[in-house]
Chain A
Amino acid sequence: MTPLSQLLPGQYGKLTSLNPERSVDQRLMALGLLPGMVLKLVRKAPLGDPLAIEFAGQVVSLRLTEAQTIIIDVAADCPIQRPRPQA
């Protein structure tokens, strides 16, 4: 149970909870980021903020403050979930 803001670049895990009250989280849910989904912290911007996260085959940027309440279950052996089977 780690806040997304504390992940290291390259780390990934399952989304355990976000805060549906916030408009940021509502936007992320509309983009398909739902509990149980695997997401990866791709990198941090050169100044450390915002973050680039990858889920469902798309890369999205998110500010550090907004990533603090997005909780991830970091699982090193968990493959990145893709909506389609890999060829």
Chain B
Amino acid sequence: MSAAEQGLTVALVGNPNTGKSTLFNALTGLRQRVGNYPGVTVARKSGQCDCGDGTKVELIDLPGLYSLSAASPDEQVVIDALSGHLAEDRRPDAVVVVIDATNLLRNLFLASQLSELDLPVVLVLNQADVATEQGLKINTELLSRRLGGIPVVLTSAWKGEGIAAVRRAIGEALRARVRMPAVEWPSLVAEALADVAAGVAADIGRAPGRADVERLLFDSTSSVGQRLGWAAPRRDVVIRAARDKVRRAGYNPLAAEPLIHYERLRKLLEGVVQGGGNRTGGSAAVDQVLLHRVLGPVVFAGIMLGMFAAVFWLAKFPMQWISGGVDALKLGVAPLLDGMPMLQSLVTDGMIGGVGAFLAFLPQILILFLFVSILEDSGYMARAAFIMDRLFSWCGLNGKSFVPLLSGFACAIPGILSTRTIEDPKARLATAFAVPFMSCSARFPVYALMCAAFIGPLYGPGWESVVMVGMHCVGLLFAVPTAFVLTRFVLKVKPQPFVLELPRYQMPKPRDVLWRMWQNAAEFVSRAGTVIFAITIIVWALSYFPRDPAVEQRIRATSVGVAPEVVDAQVQSAYVEQSWMGRFGKSVQPIFDPCGFDWKITVGVLASFPAREVIVSTLGVTYSVGEGAEADSKHLQQVMRAAKWTEGPRVGTPIFSLAAILALMVFFALCSQCGPTVATLAQETGGWKWAAISFVYMTALAWLMAVAVYQGVSRLA
């Protein structure tokens, strides 16, 4: 039986950016995300690792963290995983601590804290190539001896150097089970720890682990007490007394841990590292330009403009190829199913259309992640956040919210996916929530149709551009206050300090960049893709059934001598009118009446909940222009201009009045009409709760604003 079957697990831990994920990929062969940025690894990633001697262990890539004090959910996950308190995981059998060889002291702080967990440890000093470049010589043997004989391995994970040695070291650690010696606490601090341990044992009847005791004593807020079931009044008394003892030892209880650990490490590292000069020199010179007061923002704007242009325009070409391919496939498949109209429609409009619906997002996702990966791996992303932070901090977001929000103007999906680069969970969620408000490219056809059909002809091309620009600002106008309210009053998550490492600049590796693009696309297709597919099928069914052939016969019988495409369009329109969707649209029209929408627009609005751009072709169908109408269809524009109310108080007046078209555009600017966005929000926020809130909130807001605009403008006009 292999070790993995016996269930041996080994966890990878370390500071963000040290190369854990790169090492993980090298050890497991199961490649995954590689980021040059703190906090990229959030989910639990695992794979099988061969220790070189046939022993197989399950390797877990844990989130990067600087210390065990559970300030963030990521840190909490690591503490819980390493102490065996994650529901789905056993306690690992060993830990591999990955360390940046160019900054041993700071990286060893975490290792030193981890020594309290009483687990076999392998120390991996990664990025040895950079250390060598900087002229650093590290005496790994001496370090190993000072750390009680634990294996210490020097690696360059991205060059694959030292990987075999890591495998062997893991095997050895599991066999010999050598621990890293724990800190020697000053006697009063040791007493205080013993007091806390005794207090816990007395109250819950079981001795707590050393690491848990330290968290209780040293952290201002710790969930360990809660997890142990150690309740407040007793707990607070014991801890207060113990902290007084620490104070008597001359330490602030909340600063004692780093002070004592760093003191230990400074001694421990004496003579271990030789050489090394200016470690921040090269990057500092680049920062002179990239963070310059004037040049910095100019370069930043250039890069962001380039990125946006690529996502917005460059992606159009592959998107056209995809939609061309999907159309060709439909045409190719349709004849095979002649004589079975229902199946034909299900396969072509439902299934092939559904696959096409999510494939269409791939080019934008791939291109955005090409940029995001390069920005992150090169070290520029942190600088971008540094430049932009001021503009976002006041509403509870941070500098890293910029890239997601900007890409939201092309498409919300890659925008939401890129919020992964934000490590503060509060800002991440608020940003993901704000992204769908950005005026994405799918809203463009709606604005284009309304402007071309009405604003342009009635008020001239000048007003057309004003309305276009205005519509692109509407979402932003609502997104910012929404984020403000969300972070200030709604989200109860503790905000993270915006302490951001500005890492050294580095040339991104094409292989890592490509891998990241692929990973994101694959994840999107496998998770959100299925939901999008399902939504498309459901909407297809709603607008296809019931399908009474009598409807078609009646129209064909009464329209002898009329051009066949006109009759086809009328049949289409009649079928939709009596489908579930049509009936539903008619029955809920009163809700949209205050926005000035007739039942045909209402059906269009409803049908475009899965994908807002559908409104144009749906209006084509309901206004009997035929399928496949585009925003620049002169015929559709003409029909819409001619459309009049046929009943109710507004009978005889045009349906598309200025008030109604503005209301319709505002509705589309704000409404959550994108199944893929909702599915992606659910994927990225870990459940349907925030996706549902976003959907309801945006839709309600859209309705309210549409009513306000329609009522306001019709009174004024």
Chain A residues close to B by CB (< 8 Å): 20-24, 26-32, 34, 42-43, 45-50, 52, 54, 56-63, 66, 83-84, 86-87
Q: How many angstroms from the CA of A29 to the CA of B502 in the assembled complex?
A: 17
Within 8 A of A (CB), among B295-336: 296-297
Residues of A within 8 A of B283 (CB): 59
List 11 additional A-B contacts (Cβ < 8 Å) besides A22-B497, A32-B106, A87-B276: A20-B220, A24-B499, A49-B390, A52-B502, A61-B499, A62-B499, A66-B497, A66-B499, A86-B277, A87-B275, A87-B277
Partner of A34, one of B69, B103, B220, B262: B262
Which residue among B273, B385, B390 has the maximum number of chain A CB atoms within 10 Å of its CB?
B390
Partner of A61, one of B69, B103, B262, B382: B382
**Which of chain B's residues has its CB closest to A36's CB?**
B259
| Shortest Cβ distance from residue B492 to the other chain A in the assembled complex, whole angstroms | 16
CB-based contact B497/A24 at 8 Å: yes
Partner of A46, one of B277, B284, B293: B293
Q: How many angstroms from the CA of A66 to the CA of B279 in the assembled complex?
A: 26
Query: Is B566 interfacial (CB 8 A cutoff)?
Result: no
CB-based contact B258/A45 at 8 Å: no
Partner of B103, one of A26, A49, A58, A87: A58
- Give the interface residue-count category, chain B: 35 or more
Partner of B280, one of A34, A57, A84: A57
Residues of A within 8 A of B284 (CB): 42, 59
Query: Is B105 interfacial (CB 8 A cutoff)?
Result: yes
Residues of A within 8 A of B135 (CB): 87
CB-based contact A46/B105 at 8 Å: no
Q: How many angstroms from the CA of A14 to the CA of B35 in the assembled complex?
A: 34
CB-based contact A46/B297 at 8 Å: yes
Partner of B386, one of A24, A29, A45, A57: A45
CB-based contact B390/A50 at 8 Å: yes
Q: How many angstroms from the CA of A57 to the CA of B103 in the assembled complex?
A: 8
**Which of chain A's residues has its CB closest to B258's CB?**
A29
| Shortest Cβ distance from residue A62 to the other chain B in the assembled complex, whole angstroms | 6
Residue contacts A-B, CB under 8 angstroms, 5 given: A20-B255, A30-B69, A45-B387, A46-B291, A84-B273
CB-based contact A63/B498 at 8 Å: yes
Within 8 A of A (CB), among B379-427: 382, 385-387, 389-391, 393
Residues of A within 8 A of B71 (CB): 23, 26-27
Q: How many angstroms from the CA of A54 to the CA of B275 in the assembled complex?
A: 20
CB-based contact A50/B389 at 8 Å: yes
CB-based contact A26/B280 at 8 Å: no
Partner of A31, one of B106, B276, B494: B106
CB-based contact B280/A63 at 8 Å: no
Residues of B within 8 A of A23 (CB): 71, 220, 494, 496-497
**Which of chain A's residues has its CB closest to B65's CB?**
A30
CB-based contact A59/B496 at 8 Å: no
Q: How many angstroms from the CA of A61 to the CA of B502 in the assembled complex?
A: 7
Which residue among B259, B269, B279, B385 has the maximum number of chain A CB atoms within 10 Å of its CB?
B279
Residues of A within 8 A of B385 (CB): 61
Q: How many angstroms from the CA of A41 to the CA of B584 in the assembled complex?
A: 64
| Shortest Cβ distance from residue B97 to the other chain A in the assembled complex, whole angstroms | 15
CB-based contact A27/B502 at 8 Å: no
Query: Is B252 interfacial (CB 8 A cutoff)?
Result: yes
CB-based contact B103/A27 at 8 Å: no
Residues of B within 8 A of A56 (CB): 103, 105-106
Q: How many angstroms from the CA of A61 to the CA of B379 in the assembled complex?
A: 13
CB-based contact A30/B109 at 8 Å: yes
CB-based contact A30/B277 at 8 Å: no
**Which of chain B's residues has its CB closest to A86's CB?**
B277
Residues of B within 8 A of A49 (CB): 389-390, 393
Query: Is B342 interfacial (CB 8 A cutoff)?
Result: no
Q: How many angstroms from the CA of A19 to the CA of B50 in the assembled complex?
A: 46
CB-based contact A84/B500 at 8 Å: no
Q: How many angstroms from the CA of A20 to the CA of B221 in the assembled complex?
A: 12
Residues of A within 8 A of B393 (CB): 49, 63
Q: How many angstroms from the CA of A49 to the CA of B386 in the assembled complex?
A: 8
Within 8 A of A (CB), among B498-557: 498-502
Q: How many angstroms from the CA of A62 to the CA of B296 in the assembled complex?
A: 18
* Given A21-B220, A61-B500, CB of A52 within 8 Å of CB of B277: no
Q: How many angstroms from the CA of A17 to the CA of B49 in the assembled complex?
A: 46
Q: How many angstroms from the CA of A62 to the CA of B102 in the assembled complex?
A: 22
CB-based contact B291/A59 at 8 Å: no
Partner of B390, one of A26, A45, A52: A45
Residues of B within 8 A of A27 (CB): 66-67, 71, 497, 499
| Shortest Cβ distance from residue A72 to the other chain B in the assembled complex, whole angstroms | 17
Q: How many angstroms from the CA of A58 to the CA of B279 in the assembled complex?
A: 8
CB-based contact A59/B501 at 8 Å: yes
CB-based contact B109/A32 at 8 Å: yes
